[in-house]
Amino acid sequence: MAVHVAALLIFSSVLHRDSGLPTTIYRSLPSSTLLSLRGGELPLLVTEVDFEAALEEAGSALVVVDFFAEWCKPCKRIAPLLDQLANTHANRPDKIKFFKVDVDQSRELSAAQGVRSMPTIQFFRNGEKVHEIVGGDVAAIRAEVAKAFQNPVLTFLRSEKVLAVFAAVYLIVPWQRLQRFA
């Protein structure tokens, strides 16, 4: 269907450009069609009920939610990355799920999630927000998605609290050994 709609848009814009008439076909298309035309195949969440249902359905899987706006250039820049990550991990819905929220279409949902800048990428697990990236930081998005596929033991060992304990033990133990020899 998206191919037919894209051909219609191209054909209609050529007709309108030649005739000088304004193009209004974009307004008549549903937003999900426009998302698929710009490469976004991610499900679009519109209401808070949709949002809560998506989080509940995901269970323990990591949920990545892209809060975007059609007029936002950084949002358009990271959209292909999110689509690529979603397609790459499409065979693992038990580990990760991707969604989009149009902030202009879903103002209440965006406000409820505390979104003030675009793009904002929020990460949820078990219904709770675990991380947020504001801006188009591609490396941070990739790193956070990669965490969903890491071994849980490695994730625990790399956590800041565990590293702080190891550092404290390392600093304390050598001094105790030196005190025995004094």
Question: How do residues 74-133 score in pLDDT, each as one tens digit?
Answer: 999 999 999 999 999 988 888 999 999 999 999 999 999 999 999 999 999 999 999 999
pLDDT of residue 162: 74
Dump the DSSP string for 38-91: TT--SPBP-SHHHHHHHHHHHTTSEEEEEEE-TT-HHHHHHHHHHHHHHHHTTT
The stretch 155-166 carries a mean pLDDT of 74
Q: Is 72 a catalytic residue?
A: yes
Task: Show me where the domains of the chain are located.
Answer: 1-37, 40-149, 152-182
What are residue 133's DSSP bridge partners?
A: 121
Q: What distance in Å separates the CA atoms of residue 103 and residue 117, rounded to the nearest whole number?
A: 10
Choosing from 55, 62, 69, 72, which is the catalytic residue?
72
> Coil, strand, or helix at residue 8?
helix
Using 50, 70 and 90 to split pLDDT, how confident is the model at 151?
confident
For domain 40-149, the question of CATH label 3.40.30.10 is answered with: yes
> Does the active-site annotation cover 174?
no
Higher pLDDT, 137 or 152: 137
To which H or E segment does residue 157 belong?
helix 152-157
Which entry of 34, 58, 61, 75 is annotated as an active-site residue?
75
- pLDDT for 9 equals 39
